[in-house]
Amino acid sequence: MIATGVALAAQVSMTFAQDAATKEAPAAEEAKKADVEVTIEGNDTMQFDKKEFTVKEGQTVALTFKNVGKLPKAAMGHNVVIVKPGTVIPSFAMDCMPNAQTTGLPQKQEYKDAVVASTKILGPGESETVTFTAPAPGKYDYICTFTGHFGVMKGVMTVEAK
Ligand SMILES: [Cu+2]
């Protein structure tokens, strides 16, 4: 009787575990739930195909970034990092350089705090979707933080009031 009870308990907890796994929706599902979808491409000539986009405060934004280039990631990796208004871009980008092959994110706390949304550094043919809530109205710069790219790979996200 006791043994049966243990077996039953084990079965129940396994079922719960499966339920939890099913609830973790993949990136594509997340994107569908977003209020707005934005896709940006980066290429081998260090260009974003989209230099500006506009969203509304409070919207859920699914941002997909694709590296459509062919050059190896070590030479021509790209990401998208959106930063708060007032961020000094050259200083911010310099602080990201040590992570140019991985996250592309800054080291210093003040710059970490300035990040609104970011993808990791992507190699050729890779893409990533990140979902975030559009912050307060304003103009938000976005750049690629791969070493030396921020000067040309840049754009502006405009957030309008609701
Ligand atoms: Cu880049």
Between 126 and 5, name the one with better pLDDT. 126
**Cα–ligand 1 centroid distance for 146 (angstroms):** 5
6-10, 78-82, 124-128 — which is least confidently predicted?
6-10
**Cα–ligand 1 centroid distance for 121 (angstroms):** 8
Structure tokens at 157: 């996200």
Cα–Cα distances in angstroms (integers) from residue 134 to residues 56, 90, 120, 155, in the given order: 7, 24, 19, 16
**Cα–ligand 1 centroid distance for 108 (angstroms):** 21
Give yes or no for residue 23 having a pLDDT over 60: no
**Cα–ligand 1 centroid distance for 6 (angstroms):** 55
SS (H, E, C) the chain: CHHHHHHHHHHHHHHHHHHHHHHCCCHHHHHHHCCEEEEEEECCCCCECCCEEEEECCCEEEEEEEECCCCCHHHHCECCEEECCCCCHHHHHHHHHHHCCCCCCCCCHHHHCCEEEECCCECCCCEEEEEEECCCCEEEEEECCCCCCCCCCEEEEEEECC
**Cα–ligand 1 centroid distance for 16 (angstroms):** 43
Tell me what the mean pLDDT of segment 54-81 comes to: 98
Strand partners for 128: 65
Read off the pLDDT of residues 102-157 as tens digits, 9 standing for 90 and up: 999 999 999 999 999 999 999 999 999 999 999 999 999 999 999 999 999 999 99
Contacts of 51 (CB under 8 A, 6+ apart): 154, 155, 156
List, as ranges, residues with CB under 5 A of the ion ligand 1: 78, 144, 146, 149, 153
Read off the pLDDT of residues 27-64 as tens digits, 9 standing for 90 and up: 556 556 899 999 999 999 999 999 999 999 999 999 99
Contacts of 124 (CB under 8 A, 6+ apart): 67, 68, 69, 70, 71, 72, 73, 76
